[in-house]
Amino acid sequence: MDEIPLSAQFLALAVLLGCSAFFSVAETAMMASNRHRLRHLASHGDRGAKLALDLLARTDKMLGVILLGNNLLNAATATLVSVITIQLFGEEKWALSVGTLLVTFAILVFAEITPKILGAAHADRLARVLAFLIWPLLRAAYPVVWFVNLFVDALLWALRLKPSGGDENSRLSAEELRSLVLESGKFIPQQHRSILLNLFELEQLTVADIMTPRGEIESIDIAAPIESIKAQLATSFHTRVVVFENDPANIIGVLHQRRLVAQAFGGEIDQAALHEQMSEPYFIPAATPIYTQLQFFRENRQRMGLVVDEYGEIEGLVTLEDIIEELVGKFTTRQSDFGGSLSWNDDGVALADGAASLRELNRMLDLDFPLDGPRTLNGLIVEHLQDIPEVGVGVRVGGVPMEIVQTQDRKVKMVRLHRPTGE
């Protein structure tokens, strides 16, 4: 070393620090890169992304060659600095101590912290470029890396810390995906983001959560006088009407009103014509998940079904439009609709329909009504009081003070809600 000029030694020191910086930036960029984005780029023919994914699939080998090179270079750097220090100041203890501090500082600044910050800031771009350099290094040093990993694997096995293979760590749960959607404000329009969030919520819902309750189903009695039936059909807002005979629980079919147009223009409509145009009722168990029901609607070419409980009793009605509305928002007019939105006024009061869904109220008013029992505000109040309340009665349910404003037909029609305050 004494015969090598100091200038050459300093140049060699700079080269060692530069090579060490390369391995540091490679380690950080590869581990911080977004695997989902790399998969997307690889699917579009990006060779760098494909190589990066291949390296990430064998993380132990990739880290082995990177850390092997990095540690060898750092050790060589420390040795070279010691040699330079001895040449300049002799074998004085203070000189060696100062040399150790200087090499530590140089490695931290030039070969560790700065490169790793750059690697983390531009991980996806650098990973696709550095993969072309790391891959041949791994092939060249594979025997050494394989030998070192024998001891690493044995140690991990002894500590019961052997990581699972494959892409298990890069897979996202439903909640993690939901968080990504919530944080993607500048990439996904608000309307599209709402639809995606609704998709996550649908996983937890059944047809019973979105059905029209039995008491609000529009139906006709086939045994009623024909004039009464015609008057009811003429004022109906629905294209499909449930038909029963004598008893509302005795449903015998579903009538598609468009099929009656020809009879209406061609002659009188009577019970026989109504029977001819009726289709068989389609029954759905109340616990059917919404996604499953959507599939059933498509396979059976149905648009409406009657929801029944475990005893076969009619609980309500659900349509294809009900499911679609859960995704994109309400766009039809139904009896149970209580307005497109609901919010607190300046006094912290909101006027809600008794038929309002508790889930919708929780969402729009940021409340915490229980969802494991009744599904409507009317049902919640009646269950809590075990009776039909009188107008003016005040009650607190789910931490929300409320007042009964109107009742009708043994149901709570309108309720005045008061914003809950912290206690």
Tell me which of 294, 317, 340 is where a domain ends: 317
Q: Which of 81-90, 100-109, 374-383 has the lowest mean pLDDT?
A: 81-90
33 and 132 in a single domain? The answer is yes
Q: What is the pLDDT of residue 176?
A: 65
Q: What is the CATH number of the domain that holds 301?
A: 3.10.580.10
216 and 303 in a single domain? The answer is yes
| 152 domain-assigned | yes
Nearest to 389 by CA among 379, 371, 368, 404: 404
144 and 267 in a single domain? The answer is no
Q: What is the pLDDT of residue 118?
A: 93
Span 107-144, pLDDT tens digits: 999 999 999 999 999 999 999 999 999 999 999 999 99
| 340 domain-assigned | no
236 and 298 in a single domain? The answer is yes
158 and 222 in a single domain? The answer is no
94 and 40 in a single domain? The answer is yes
Q: What is the pLDDT of residue 229?
A: 79
310 and 256 in a single domain? The answer is yes
Q: What is the pLDDT of residue 282?
A: 85
Nearest to 212 by CA among 289, 321, 298: 321
pLDDT at 1 over 70: no
Q: Give the SS3 label for residue 238.
A: coil
Confidence of residue 336 (pLDDT cuts 50, 70, 90): very low
40 and 157 in a single domain? The answer is yes
277 and 221 in a single domain? The answer is yes
Tell me which of 271, 295, 317 is where a domain ends: 317
Q: What is the pLDDT of residue 52?
A: 92
Distance (Å) of CA 319 to CA 3, 239, 250, 258: 90, 12, 20, 17
Confidence of residue 165 (pLDDT cuts 50, 70, 90): low
Which residue segment(s) compose the domain that 288 sits in?
Answer: 212-317
231 and 355 in a single domain? The answer is no
Stated as kind and residue range, the H or E segment containing 297 is helix 290-300
* CA 227 distance to own-chain centroid: 52
Beta strand 240-245 with 219-221: parallel, antiparallel or unpaired?
A: parallel
Tell me which of 114, 138, 170 is where a domain ends: 170
Q: What is the CATH number of the domain that holds 377?
A: 3.30.465.10
Distance (Å) of CA 272 to CA 9, 161, 242, 267, 282: 106, 75, 16, 13, 21
37 and 134 in a single domain? The answer is yes
56 and 158 in a single domain? The answer is yes
Span 248-304, pLDDT tens digits: 888 888 887 776 766 655 556 777 777 777 888 888 898 898 888 888 888 888 888
Cα–Cα distance, 78 to 101 (Å, whole number): 10
Split into its structural domains, the chain has a count of 3
Q: Produce one character per residue of 170-209: b if its CB has 16 or more CB atoms within 10 Å, e if not.
A: eeeeeeeebeebeeeeeebeeeeeeebeebeebeebbbbb
| 423 domain-assigned | no
| 328 domain-assigned | no
Instruction: Name the average pLDDT for the chain.
Output: 82
Span 276-291, pLDDT tens digits: 778 888 888 988 988 8
